[in-house]
């Protein structure tokens, strides 16, 4: 389980390593927490970058360039360089004036919306988060290898020193993996980079994208919470109330097929599937899909994939 972070502190960042250490003393939990948080943020910023970039290119950049080109051609025709009648030259001159006004309006709109700047900022955040994820994966592999080497050395010592070392080994295996000072510094450095990756972004994220990812998180959290608490209840004299609660629990617990994936791994799979659903929706990237229908389609596709995996096993 990932650590549950309290976000009530006014002057304390939710990604602060001190806050995380208070809620978890296991390296595995920290890796899962950062992996889920970074993946969600990376997908959101990546999709936002694509949306803003395409909106800028199609509706602002290319139309402005085309207007400038046509206005230049009409201006050349109206300047008298061509042997045209005065009436035609006046028509060209009028068109040049109108297109100049439209071009000024487009340039003002481009500056006001700043789609290009927003796209660049979100793209930079997505790239930074991808690099942090690679660093996190490398750190996870390094810690795993160190743990294996430590276990091997401990086994060798136990073979040589007898029962006393064996008892110490069994006690150590029962304890969780504690943070040492080096690991804390690594996670503290990682959390600082995590904050810096998105600290420079001032634009508002598209609500339909953020709502879809929050909704997926909520669905998966409810699924696992209901799955854990879905135990046989004692008989209830109130048939309507009892049946209603049972039906609600069953509907939530059957949201996904029986899977061996942890909550965090299922979230990572859901984020990837949600991205595919969004980019394959009608009108993307110019029209953002409805968050509710997107989440429903994502859950349906996950059901099919998880069912096929269970059948294969």
Tens of pLDDT, residues 91-141? 989 999 999 999 999 999 999 999 999 999 999 999 999 999 998 888 777
- How far apart CA 120 and CA 197 sit, in angstroms, is 13
Q: Which of 19-23, 99-103, 134-138, 284-288 has the lowest mean pLDDT?
A: 19-23
- How far apart CA 203 and CA 117 sit, in angstroms, is 9
Cα–Cα separations (whole angstroms), residue 279 to 271, 273, 287, 293, 296:
12, 10, 10, 14, 15
Q: Which of 22-36, 72-86, 212-226, 262-276 has the lowest mean pLDDT?
A: 22-36
The model's pTM is: 0.78
CB 26 within 8 A of CB 176: yes
Higher pLDDT, 234 or 113: 113
Element of type H or E holding 278: helix 263-279
Tokens (6 digits) for 49: 């970058």
Q: Tell me, what's the pLDDT at 12? A: 47
Greatest CA separation found in the chain?
109
φ/ψ bin of 227: left (φ > 0), alpha (ψ from -120 to 50), beta (otherwise): alpha
Q: Tell me, what's the pLDDT at 52? A: 97
The DSSP letter of residue 285 is T
Residue 177 reports pLDDT greater than 70: no
**3-state DSSP call for residue 174?**
helix
**3-state DSSP call for residue 76?**
helix
CB 118 within 8 A of CB 53: no
Closest to 56 (Cα-Cα) out of 5, 107, 4: 107
Question: If you average pLDDT over residues 216-242, what whole number do you get?
Answer: 70
Higher pLDDT, 285 or 23: 285
- How far apart CA 269 and CA 304 sit, in angstroms, is 13
Residue 211 reports pLDDT greater than 90: yes
Q: Tell me, what's the pLDDT at 87? A: 87
Higher pLDDT, 125 or 238: 125
Higher pLDDT, 226 or 157: 226
Q: Tell me, what's the pLDDT at 30? A: 77
Question: If you average pLDDT over residues 241-267, what whole number do you get?
Answer: 66
Q: Tell me, what's the pLDDT at 149? A: 47
Tokens (6 digits) for 252: 């939530």
Q: Tell me, what's the pLDDT at 4? A: 44
Question: If you average pLDDT over residues 25-38, what whole number do you get?
Answer: 78
- How far apart CA 55 and CA 49 sit, in angstroms, is 10
Cα–Cα separations (whole angstroms), residue 128 to 15, 93, 121, 216, 229:
16, 50, 11, 24, 39
The DSSP letter of residue 12 is S
Domains observed in the chain: 1-201 (1.20.1270), 206-231+238-313 (no CATH)
* pLDDT tens, residue by residue, 268-277: 999 999 999 9
225 pLDDT tier (thresholds 50, 70, 90): confident
Q: Which of 3-7, 127-131, 199-203, 289-293 has the lowest mean pLDDT?
A: 3-7
Residue 170 reports pLDDT greater than 80: no
Q: What angle, rounded to 10 degrees, do the helices at 263-279 and 207-229 form?
A: 150
Question: Percent of the chain, pLDDT > 90?
Answer: 42
Q: Tell me, what's the pLDDT at 32? A: 84
Q: Tell me, what's the pLDDT at 26? A: 58
How does 194-230 read in b/e, with b if 16+ C-beta sit within 10 Å? beebbeeeeeebbebbbbbbebbbebbeebbebbeee
Tokens (6 digits) for 135: 């660093």
Q: Tell me, what's the pLDDT at 281? A: 96
Q: Tell me, what's the pLDDT at 7? A: 39
Tokens (6 digits) for 260: 């061996």
Judged on CB neighbours under 10 Å (0-12, 13-18, 19+), 43 is buried
Task: Give residue for tokens 């969780």.
Answer: 176
Question: If you average pLDDT over residues 252-262, what whole number do you get?
Answer: 69
> What is the chain's mean pLDDT, rounded?
78
Residue 164 reports pLDDT greater than 90: no
Residue 186 reports pLDDT greater than 60: yes
Non-local CB neighbours of 235 within 8 Å, separated by 6+ positions: 242
């Amino acid at each position: 389980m990932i650590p549950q972070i309290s976000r009530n502190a006014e002057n304390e960042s939710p990604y602060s390593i001190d806050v995380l250490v208070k809620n978890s003393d296991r390296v595995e939990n920290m890796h899962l927490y950062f992996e889920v948080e970074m993946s969600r943020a990376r997908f959101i910023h990546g999709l936002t970058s694509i949306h803003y970039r395409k909106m800028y290119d199609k509706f602002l950049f290319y139309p402005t360039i085309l207007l400038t080109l046509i206005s230049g051609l009409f201006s050349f025709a109206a300047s008298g360089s061509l042997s045209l009648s005065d009436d035609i030259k006046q028509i060209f001159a009028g068109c040049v004036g109108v297109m100049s006004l439209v071009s000024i309006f487009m340039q003002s709109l481009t500056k006001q919306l700043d789609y290009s700047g927003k796209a660049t900022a979100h793209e930079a955040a997505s790239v930074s988060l991808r690099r942090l994820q690679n660093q996190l994966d490398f750190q996870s592999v390094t810690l795993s290898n160190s743990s294996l080497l430590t276990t091997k050395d401990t086994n060798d010592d136990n073979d040589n020193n007898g029962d006393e070392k064996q008892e110490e080994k069994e006690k150590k295996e029962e304890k969780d993996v504690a943070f040492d000072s080096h690991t804390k510094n690594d996670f503290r450095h990682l959390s600082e980079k995590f904050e810096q990756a998105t600290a420079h972004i001032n634009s508002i994220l598209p609500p339909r994208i953020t709502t879809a990812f929050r909704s997926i998180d909520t669905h998966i959290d409810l699924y696992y919470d209901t799955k854990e608490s879905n135990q046989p209840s004692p008989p209830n004299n109130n048939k309507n109330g009892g049946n209603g609660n049972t039906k609600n629990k069953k509907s939530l617990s059957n949201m996904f097929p029986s899977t061996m994936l942890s909550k965090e791994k299922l979230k990572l799979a859901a984020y990837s599937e949600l991205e595919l659903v969004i980019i394959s929706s009608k009108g993307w990237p110019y029209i953002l899909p409805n968050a509710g229908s997107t989440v429903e389609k994502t859950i349906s596709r996950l059901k099919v994939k998880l069912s096929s995996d269970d059948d294969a096993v």
